[in-house]
Structure 1
Amino acid sequence: MRELCEDSANSVCGGIISMDLQQPDAVARWREAGLFHRWVKGVRHVLHVPGQPPGSCLTPVFISNVIALGDAGLCFEACVRNEELGDVAGLARQTPRTDMVLNHMGNVDAERLRHDANYSRRWRRNLQSLAACDNVFCKVSGVITPPKVDINLVRPAVDIALNTFSRDKVVFASNFPVCDLGTGGVVE
């Protein structure tokens, strides 16, 4: 990433790196190894994979590493299963000096949002809880959809996120080409 960011031939000016925040003192060891540089803006530890059980971000080691990210001026990108948004809210309350970005609006499923009232209520409630945390921002991207979906299926999820988080706490991303992996299609 350093080489890419220092190359004046492109417009990349920073990035998010991956780090295993379940390892004791991961952030401190990474910094001591001299790997921290001005182009690193934050860290992502993917929590929405089968190997990460619910509550993984609430362990003392994980919390300590997220605090260390904030102390270093870095953000934490929360990439979790929709059902575990409450875990992220708990983490945010325990690490108020670390900015967090909720990836993909909490991995919301547009079809379930439309057809499952309990799912919709839970997602909205969790978004409101996260929006109430001063250190949490919402990234609008990567809405889970079936292949070749009409934009009108995605619009309600985006509208809800935009109406829940204040204007200064929303960022946008394309999530391309990763978004095609789960759907096999694109929004038309």
Structure 2
Amino acid sequence: MARNIDTQVRAVNRRLKKTATIEQRGASRALNTIAGRVRTRVVKTVSSEANIRQKNVRKRVYVNKSKPQNLRVRIVAYHRDIPVVSLGAKTTRRRGGVKAEGRHYPDAFIADGSKGYGRYVRGEGYRPTWLITEQVMQRESSGRYPLEVLRVSIKEPVERHTPKVSREQMREFPRIAKSATDHLMKRL
């Protein structure tokens, strides 16, 4: 009889220890849910405003998730300009220039560095030059140089939408946290 009561007391103690952490786990789940929603909304709004595909913006938005011990979510949205070559650039024959994501860049070309001279090595002459990655370039003047790497700017939409979307989503936090905590309590 005493053994049965001892096991029941231990079981109740275990349940009480679990319930102590349930609020933190529920809040952590809610924060991670909200962070995922913020990421999705930021990617959608920035890509529609900049008129580029979502997959090109999604690569630049990161979420550091929350843990029950550390209830903090960090959403990092890099606002560096996106090079046109990563938008699937192709040279156009009829009009000349380069076309990417429905935009046409006249007098642009895709450079891979295969033409031109690299470093001079004594006894061997000039080595071939190769860019690490291809780039879409355009001349800034009528001369051979200077060249400009073509990019699509996303800085302004990212800086404008990220804080606004995160504020909107944080209004949902109490409801999501309550449902996550209730779900965890049912599983006990």
Using structure 2 for the length normalisation, give the TM-score. 0.22
- Report the structure, 1 or 2, having the larger strand content: 2
Say which one has the larger Rg: 2
